[in-house]
Structure formats: structure tokens, C-alpha cells
Amino acid sequence: MVKKELAGKKFGEFEFPVERGKIKEFASAILDTDPVYRDREYALQQGFKDILMPVTFPVTFGFHLPSENYVVEMAQEIGMDLGKSVHGEFEVIYERPVCAGETLRGEIGIGNIYEKEGKRGGKMTFVEMKTSFYDQGDNPVIVINNLFIERG
């Protein structure tokens, strides 16, 4: 049973270094050849401080969490049955572009928890996992919203 009272709970913080080499590897992995992700001089000409981070690059934040099973541990702590759960939605919201050389502070926690009646019967529980990133001035930069659905 999902513990609805844990909505809004912060589970911890981590450091997320935005490294030039990792950006280039990621751009190659997603087959994006835009030079703004690879060529520092080109990125500077485009008005950026360094090569630009691709918009989906923050999904790699999992490599910087305190443990390999951190999200699983969070799900277990809130009472989610992972065997009956599916990933429902993924959203990345940017306040500004992020470039190589920055170090962001990530904060991971639970957003809203709510229920809906399923079309095939039974209640579905929706759990929002929210990861917020802040720059070195503690300004919000990125928010990643993941929605998980526990089927009834």
C-alpha cells in the first residue's frame, strides 16, 4: 500500500557534474551530430559558455545517486509494489540551457500521490518522482518529473 502521507518528502541530494566528454558520448549515443554538443568553439559562437548539454542528458543523473538501487529503495520506502508498477510519463523542464563545466546539485523526492479508478477495475495509484537540479547559485535549472503507476 502506497503511503500517501509521504507526498512531498525529499529523499536526498547528490552532485551532478556536467562533463564535456560525457556530453559528447551521450550525443553520439543518441546519434545527434549537432556540433553544439561536440565543438566548444562552435558552441561559443552560438552564445553558450561551453558545449551545450542535450535536453535528455539529465536522465544520466542515476549514475550520481548515492546507490545503484536508490529509486528502488525510494519506491519500497513509500510502499510501492514494483511488480505491479509501470512507468507512465517522463518530463524534463528547463529554466535555462546548461553547459559543460557546470556542477548541479540534484534533489530527489516524491511529488504528488493520487488514485484513479482503472478502466478494467481496481484503483491505480499514481506516484510522481521529482528530481530538481540547482546551479551553484542555488537557482533552479532543471526539473525531471517521472510518473509511476501502480496497478490495482
Instruction: Write down all domains in the chain, each with its CATH number in brackets.
Output: 4-18+54-150 (3.10.129.10)
pLDDT at 36: 98
C-alpha–C-alpha distance, residues 103 and 132, integer Å: 13
So what's the pLDDT on residue 133?
Answer: 95
Confidence at residue 92, expressed as pLDDT on a 0 to 100 scale:
93
pTM metric for this prediction: 0.84
pLDDT of 78 reads 87
What does the DSSP assignment read for 69-82?
Answer: THHHHHHHHTT--G
Q: Which residues contact 52 (CB under 8 A, 6 or more apart)?
A: 23, 36, 37, 43, 46, 97, 98, 99
Residue 52 grid cell = 551545450
- Intervals of the chain under pLDDT 50: none
